[in-house]
Structure 1
Amino acid sequence: MTLISEIIRKRYSCRSYSLNPVEESILQKFRQQVNEPHRGPFGNMPRFALISMAVLPREEWKKLGTYGVIKNARLYLAGLISPAPMATCDYGYCMEKLILKATELGLNTCWLGGTFAISAFRNAAGMQRNELLPTISPIGYAAEHKSLTERFMRRFAGSDHRLPWQDLFFDGNAKTPLSSEKAGEYGEALENVRLAPSASNQQPWRIVYDDQQKTFSFYLSRTIGYRKLRDVSLQEIDMGIVMCHFELTVAELGLTGKWRQNESAPEIKPWEYITDWQAG
């Protein structure tokens, strides 16, 4: 198992945090990653900000609400992106890289899309007029015991469960499941896609493998009735997250390839084509 696979398996959505502060040496390493330029596969460049409760006046601290979902967090990662084609996919791709970096450093996180007060975080993150703030994540150490709210939410969302391979990965068409044997050396990358977090644990990604062309076509299977939040499709962010998992894994496995748009990609209704990974 690769290091990135170990990190992906270690990450989970943590909603209850210890009051122990993050050590300055670790915080400095993470802040350096946050402050670097970020660019997604489609060319969009989201930016990120670390928001510390410690530097905010008490009255501002009170405004940074997460509706009771997060307990005791004192540090948040906020991401911002300007609207553009495929911007939300790039946003998910780049933020998940930071989430995994935090996990590597021994920190806990939790993707939050619709359960935070955007007005307060907007000001703290320095949001510009042409930007969207799709998600935030607390950053810190997990509390020794989960709160009642956390236990309920994990059970309600089914956070510990993932769809099986045959519902997500396909061989040549949308009806033939892709076996792990046929996936071969890409099996670990696809398993890391399967384990990715998603809004309400809907897992809206579908991947079709073309053995002749050596391509993996990524499709979005939108959940019926799943609405946008603040002009942002959380399920498009989910696609960016799985693209991140796939790319990081194949890179660590030493498998070469690149993202590309296939103008002749098969149209599979009601799925929406996102992109191809071209091996080689």
Structure 2
Amino acid sequence: MPHPPDVAPEPYLDAMARRYSCRTCDKTPISAADRHALESAIGKRRVGPFGTQARFQLLAATPEDSGALKGLGTYGFVRNPAGFLLGATGRGPRSLEDFGYLMEGCILDATILGIGTCWLGGTFTRSRFAEKLALGDEEMPAVVAVGYPAAKRGWIDRLIRRGDSADRRMPWEKLFFDGDAAVALSRDAAGKLTQAIEMVRRAPSASNCQPWRIVKQGSFYDFHLLRTPGYRERNKTLFGIADMQRVDMGIAMCHLELGARELGLTGRWIERSEQDRTSFPGAEYTVSFEIADGLTNHVVVRA
């Protein structure tokens, strides 16, 4: 997927490395130029790899928006956001993965423009945000707070990052594997894709759980969802939050595909048959990315 034409051609890989959950913004509104560029970019992100249609809109913040964030625990702690990125997705078996993939693309577009972002996971389908987006038979699994980062991070940023270890990520050998779950993927084996895989490691995820496990088999990179025990049930009960670990899988997919494209590697998303694909103990298979010359399919194909 190339850079949307209104977004400066800074490498997405650099944007992935720079992006962080910005919970303290200054009070400056998004400039007209940046707003136009971001709206143009997000308007082009309409269909995810699994074929789910989505739409995104950038709205300025209002005093009433804080009410829509109540009850989300730390998810709702953002100071002085200039606005919100809202997204609506159709319903389907892989709609949450598609939502994560597309929204993370919007976030990287914002990062390139120097706009800070913060994922806010929750159930917003009946919220004021849903009213603003005129939600039909769609769902809104998350919203993203946006704004120019404050010169100094506030106590909220420091407290939350200390509490959820947001500055830390799992080591490479706990996430990426070669052939099966018993063999860690070496950087030599990853070859030209190494930098993109590293950006998957550094991708954001709900509570920094990093639920993806990727197993390389030849030219295929199989994505498996290893759920955090009790995470989905606890957050649904306490906060009404959607199945964010499926959204996380879409975020990881976005990082791998955009990173691969930027490294000059072509590929496609494919659902491999059970007899052909790898497995991972205790995990659910999601999809595979196949690296090969001439393959440029954005939408998942089935083997």
Alignment of structure 1 residues 70-109 onto 2, 5 Å:
70-109=78-117
Query: Greater shift after overlay, 88-97 or 35-44?
Result: 35-44
User: 1:79 deviation in Å?
Assistant: 1.2
Alpha-carbon contact 2:54-2:87 (below 8 Å) kept: yes
User: 1:74 deviation in Å?
Assistant: 2.5
User: 1:64 deviation in Å?
Assistant: 4.3
How far does the alpha carbon of each residue in 1:13-65 deviate from its partner, in whole angstroms, 9 at most, with x for none? 00011011221011111111223351111111111122213xx5x6x456344
> 1:50–1:167: structure 2 CA closer, same or farther, 3 Å change rule?
same
> 1:46–1:143: structure 2 CA closer, same or farther, 3 Å change rule?
same
Cα RMSD after superposing both structures: 2.0
Which whole-Å CA distance do the structure 2 matches of 1:71 and 1:117 have between them? 23
Alpha-carbon contact 2:99-2:247 (below 8 Å) kept: yes
Q: What secondary structure does 2:183 align onto? A: coil
Partner residue of 1:253 out of 238, 255, 263: 263
Q: What secondary structure does 1:255 align onto? A: coil
Q: Report what 1:225 is aligned to.
A: 230
User: Number of aligned pairs?
Assistant: 272
Partner residue of 1:52 out of 56, 60, 76: 60
Structure 2, unpaired ranges of 5+: 1-9, 293-303
Alpha-carbon contact 1:206-1:218 (below 8 Å) kept: yes
Which whole-Å CA distance do the structure 2 matches of 1:225 and 1:136 have between them? 23
Alpha-carbon contact 2:226-2:283 (below 8 Å) kept: yes
User: 1:267 deviation in Å?
Assistant: 3.5
Q: What secondary structure does 1:136 align onto? A: strand
Paired AA for residue 196 in structure 1:
A
Alpha-carbon contact 1:103-1:109 (below 8 Å) kept: yes
- Percent of aligned pairs with the same amino acid: 38
2:178 matches 1:171: yes
TM-score (norm 2): 0.84
Which whole-Å CA distance do the structure 2 matches of 1:69 and 1:116 have between them? 16
User: 1:118 deviation in Å?
Assistant: 5.8
Query: Greater shift after overlay, 258-267 or 90-99?
Result: 258-267
Partner residue of 1:194 out of 191, 197, 201: 201
User: 1:114 deviation in Å?
Assistant: 3.4
Structure 1, unpaired ranges of 5+: none
Q: Report what 2:159 is aligned to.
A: 152
Which whole-Å CA distance do the structure 2 matches of 1:190 and 1:248 have between them? 11
